[in-house]
């Protein structure tokens, strides 16, 4: 685990969970995770951006094993330079490690940092993402964390068997 990892050891638990920065040294782990977790091949430019986004890209470790990651990007909100949106491009946990709170830990880290964007940066107005329309587990997960369906995007994933997606968003009040 990186020296700048955020680590929790739950009471009476025999495991450790930590969030670590994505660095050039562990970028290969992120690439392998994404290959397993998502049916999309991400371009080298995606990984270059991930290295520059700071707190909005993290790897999660379970007992020092890399088991998941979250990667976001900032976008101008409706042509505004003072407001930005945060797009969650990827958030995933390997199947054997799901339902342990790891995805929630990553999402809460992202939301807390989005709400605490410093005054010298553009304020983040909302956080959003796309979820394949048949992915009920993901829909339930994000709704549990206050995201709402903003729209249905037909043929969002044109090369997938289920091509439709839902755009989910959470408007930040801070």
* d(C-alpha 75, C-alpha 174), whole Å: 18
Distances (CA, A) of 124 to 24, 74, 172, 173: 27, 8, 7, 10
145 is catalytic: no
Contacts 24+ apart (CB under 8 A), 47-53: 49/73, 50/22, 51/22, 51/23, 51/24, 51/27
Radius of gyration over every alpha carbon of the chain, rounded to an integer in angstroms: 16
Catalytic residue among 42, 87, 156, 157: 87
156 is catalytic: no
Catalytic residue among 130, 145, 156, 157: 130
Supply the residues annotated as catalytic.
87, 130
């Amino acid at each position: 685990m990186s020296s700048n990892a955020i680590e929790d050891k739950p009471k009476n638990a025999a495991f450790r969970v930590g969030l670590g920065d994505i660095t050039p040294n562990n970028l290969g782990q992120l690439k392998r995770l994404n290959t397993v977790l998502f049916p999309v091949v991400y371009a080298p430019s995606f990984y270059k951006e991930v290295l520059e986004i700071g707190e909005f890209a993290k790897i999660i470790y379970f007992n020092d094993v890399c088991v998941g990651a979250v990667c976001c990007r900032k976008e101008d909100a409706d042509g505004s330079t003072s407001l930005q949106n945060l797009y969650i491009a990827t958030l995933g946990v390997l199947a054997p490690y799901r339902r342990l709170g790891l995805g929630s830990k990553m999402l809460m880290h992202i939301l807390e940092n989005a709400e605490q964007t410093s005054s010298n940066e553009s304020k983040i107005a909302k956080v959003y993402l796309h979820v394949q329309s048949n992915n009920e587990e993901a829909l339930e997960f994000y709704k549990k964390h206050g995201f709402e369906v903003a729209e249905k995007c037909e043929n969002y994933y044109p090369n997938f068997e289920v091509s439709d997606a839902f755009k989910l968003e959470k408007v930040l009040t801070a």
